[in-house]
A = this chain, B = another copy of it.
Amino acid sequence: MRLSFDEIQGEISRAFIAHGMSPDKAATCARIHTETTNDGVYSHGTNRVPRFAEYLDNGWVDPAAEPTLIKEFGPIRIYDGNMGPGILNALYAVEQGMALAQAHGLAMIGLKNTTHWMRGGTYALAAAQRGFVSVMWTNTESVMPPWGAKDSRLGNNPFVLAVPRAAGTFPILFDMALSQYSFGKLGVMQLAGETLPFPGGFDQEGQVSYDPATIIDSRRVMPIGFWKGSGFSFMLDILAAALTDGSGAAELDCKGMGSCGGASQVMILIDPRKLSSAETFEEHLLRSIGHLKSSPPLAGSNGAAVPGEGVLRFRAAHAEQGIFVDDKIWSEIKAL
């Protein structure tokens, strides 16, 4: 169905209040879930609302917890998220990061004992819209086997980069999980009875598989770049855990507090205005975008895309037709 931003936010907010959140916090979380849906990232917008309510019910997220500062040194701050809502913790963290980056030119925020931040791009986009470059990642529980081994020990650890554009221009936003396909995508392919175009994971015996049903069954998805993404995921996990004195996949796999329950996150923010004028900075971006777009499209393709440009197409379509919400998900949210 198609709904307005306010209808969606209002209903999600009501659901979160019914599951124990304060009205203020519920409104903020509901806004982020709605913005995420409006940007076309349905998996972490409306579609994720029932699971978040379940986490509140299970006591895996403390709706009242606030982040507390545990360490600071110059442009670095480390916070304990105290198992509060991942969205609120990450919004708080990026605000602190921007203030520090404004003062120092560069800042790093670590956040431990936090919970699922939903769409990582939310925080990088917030920073880019205020003029900051960012590099952010979170660790997660294990869903991928290390290269050469059988059982999952690596998270799909989202890694996010964003770059601000000239005023009024949507930022460049790159938001990738380190698994080649998400479980959501595998489910869609399975329903359609399709085989994956590229290796998507492993069967129970550790053999490479292109079959979505086999991979969903084994719960072992493929890291991007095979052996390369396997190493990259491990690095993001240990960096997040060791820099924040927080949990890595080793602990997250034992906690059993849902997806990302107790995760560690790192946000590095840079203020490019300390280094060059907005005009010079934008000229670089325009030159690079022009270069990228000058590559002729393959037959049947729209051609090279600038990371994040799909967001604007979703926003335009949603503005015209209303925001798309899956009927079944909407019924679930209404019933919460």
Closest to A306 in B: B234
Instruction: Given A241-B284, A245-B276, answer yes or no on A153-B106 (Cβ-Cβ < 8 Å).
Output: no
A99 beta carbon closer than 8 Å to chain B = no
Q: Are B153's CB and A292's CB within 8 A?
A: yes
- The contact size tier of chain A is 35 or more
Contact among B110, B146, B305 with A304 in the assembled complex (CB-CB below 8 Å): B146
Cα separation A287 to B250 with both chains bound (whole Å): 7
A147 beta carbon closer than 8 Å to chain B = yes
Q: Which residues of B contact A235 (CB under 8 A)?
A: 161, 163, 172, 174, 307
Q: Kindly supply a per-residue 1/0 record for chain A positions 140-180, scoring 1 wherever the CB is within 8 Å of any chain B CB and 0 otherwise.
A: 00000111111111100000010100000000101010001
Q: Are B148's CB and A290's CB within 8 A?
A: no
Q: How many copies of the polypeptide does the oligomer hold?
A: 2
Nearest CB of B to A301, in Å: 4
Q: Which residues of B contact A108 (CB under 8 A)?
A: 105-106, 270
Contact among B106, B163, B303 with A148 in the assembled complex (CB-CB below 8 Å): B303
Contact among B133, B288, B295 with A237 in the assembled complex (CB-CB below 8 Å): B288
Q: Are B106's CB and A74's CB within 8 A?
A: yes
Q: Are A250's CB and B75's CB within 8 A?
A: no
Q: Are A304's CB and B229's CB within 8 A?
A: no
Cα separation A225 to B150 with both chains bound (whole Å): 20
Nearest CB of B to A71, in Å: 6
Instruction: Given A239-B133, A304-B153, answer yes or no on A234-B148 (Cβ-Cβ < 8 Å).
Output: no
Cα separation A304 to B153 with both chains bound (whole Å): 9
Would you list which residues of chain A between 272 and 324 have a CB under 8 Å from chain B?
Answer: 272, 274-276, 280-281, 284-285, 287-288, 290-292, 294-299, 301-307
Q: Are B242's CB and A298's CB within 8 A?
A: no
Q: Are A149's CB and B225's CB within 8 A?
A: no
Instruction: Given A148-B298, A150-B295, A161-B235, answer yes or no on A250-B288 (Cβ-Cβ < 8 Å).
Output: yes
A189 beta carbon closer than 8 Å to chain B = no
Hey, which bits of chain A sit against chain B, CB under 8 A? 71, 73-76, 78, 103-108, 110, 133, 135, 145-154, 161, 163, 172, 174, 176, 180, 198-199, 206, 224-226, 228-232, 234-235, 237-239, 241-243, 245, 248-251, 253, 268, 270, 272, 274-276, 280-281, 284-285, 287-288, 290-292, 294-299, 301-307
* Cβ contacts A to B, 5 pairs, < 8 Å: A71-B276, A75-B75, A146-B292, A152-B295, A235-B307
